């Protein structure tokens, strides 16, 4: 099994060396998507035996993940593992994702910070927990899933499964589009527990999305739009209340 570790980076010079040093202990194939960094991250990347996609300007989290998927397809990897570079995703968990991928019973292995009630970890910001819970509950209800964490970016994806998707979202609402398309494409989904770590409580989502209410409304708009696009490939419950017509 040939696996790629893909890491979106935007102004992560403070943590970048520590993360890459740890990742390279567990993986030899590493791709960093430098999303327009201006803090010296770009210079640090040149010190490592890794592949780099460089965005001239910041294009967004979703665009970075889409570029990672494109690279993995082009280079004929079997799996791609995505993780963050802010030390909130432990590189020591990479072997767990790869072992789960070897099990060959899933196309998406999604990290969850809430899979077990007694999972150790930091106390997350209340508004982030609330938005995660509300969107996870809606995704489960509409798609018949049993996710516990819809937003964790620590994931493993079977590259063959990604070929069935047509992802276009560029920002932080990317997971909403992904879940709708993954279900419509019939991808098999499972979760894997990861430790809950919060290093940056002042994280910005950009512009108006820093307001929790507007961010939640934006996530719902993206999710509902994607459901309507794929209505006839989704469970009937997915479109409930959205289009005014029964799904077949």
pLDDT for residue 174 is more than 60: yes
Q: Structural domain boundaries of the chain?
A: 3-238
Of 67, 31, 76, residue with least CA distance to 49: 31
Q: Distance (Å, rounded) from C-alpha 152 to C-alpha 171? A: 14
Q: What is the mean pLDDT of residues 231-242?
A: 90
Q: 208-226 in b/e burial notation, b at 16+ Cβ within 10 A?
A: ebeeeeebbebbeebbbeb
pLDDT of residue 243: 67
Q: What is the mean pLDDT of residues 93-101?
A: 97
* pLDDT tens-place string over residues 23-50: 999 999 999 999 999 999 999 999 999 9
Q: What is the mean pLDDT of residues 202-225?
A: 86
- pLDDT confidence tier of residue 120, bands split at 50, 70 and 90: low
Q: Is 38 exposed, middle or buried, given 0-12, 13-18 or 19+ CB atoms closer than 10 A?
A: exposed
Size (the chain), residues: 248
Structure tokens at 207: 């512009």
Q: pTM, whole model, 2 decimals?
A: 0.92
Contacts of 86 (CB under 8 A, 6+ apart): 12, 15, 199, 200
* pLDDT tens-place string over residues 123-155: 777 888 999 999 999 999 999 999 999 999 999
pLDDT for residue 99 is more than 80: yes
pLDDT of residue 119: 56
For domain 3-238, give the fold.
Spore Coat Polysaccharide Biosynthesis Protein SpsA; Chain A (3.90.550)
pLDDT of residue 49: 98
- pLDDT confidence tier of residue 166, bands split at 50, 70 and 90: very high
- pLDDT confidence tier of residue 242, bands split at 50, 70 and 90: confident
Q: What is the mean pLDDT of residues 203-208?
A: 71
Structure tokens at 65: 């993940």
- pLDDT confidence tier of residue 241, bands split at 50, 70 and 90: confident
The answer for 76, left when phi > 0, alpha when psi is -120 to 50, beta otherwise, is left
Of 61, 80, 53, residue with least CA distance to 162: 80
pLDDT of residue 93: 97
């Amino acid at each position: 099994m040939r696996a790629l570790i893909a890491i979106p980076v935007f102004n992560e010079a403070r943590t970048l060396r520590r993360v890459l040093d740890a990742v390279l202990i567990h993986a030899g194939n590493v791709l960093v998507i430098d999303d327009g960094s201006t803090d010296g991250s770009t210079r640090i990347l040149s010190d490592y035996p890794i592949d780099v996609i460089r965005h001239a300007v910041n294009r967004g989290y979703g665009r970075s993940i889409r570029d990672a998927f494109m690279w993995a397809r082009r280079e004929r990897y079997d799996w791609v593992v995505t993780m963050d570079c802010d030390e909130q995703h432990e590189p020591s968990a990479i072997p767990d994702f790869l072992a789960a991928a070897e099990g060959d019973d899933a196309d998406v292995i999604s990290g969850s910070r809430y899979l077990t009630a007694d999972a150790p970890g930091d106390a997350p910001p209340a508004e982030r927990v609330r938005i995660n819970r509300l969107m996870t509950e809606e995704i489960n209800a509409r798609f018949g899933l049993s996710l516990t964490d819809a937003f964790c970016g620590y994931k493993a994806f079977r590259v063959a499964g990604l070929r069935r998707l047509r992802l276009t979202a560029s920002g932080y609402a990317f997971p909403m589009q992904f879940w709708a398309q993954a279900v419509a494409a019939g991808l098999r989904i499972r979760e894997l527990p990861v430790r809950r770590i919060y290093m940056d409580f002042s994280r910005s989502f950009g512009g108006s999305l820093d307001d929790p209410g507007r961010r939640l409304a934006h996530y719902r708009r993206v999710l509902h739009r994607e459901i309507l696009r794929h209505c006839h490939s989704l469970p009937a419950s997915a479109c409930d209340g959205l289009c005014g017509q029964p799904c077949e």
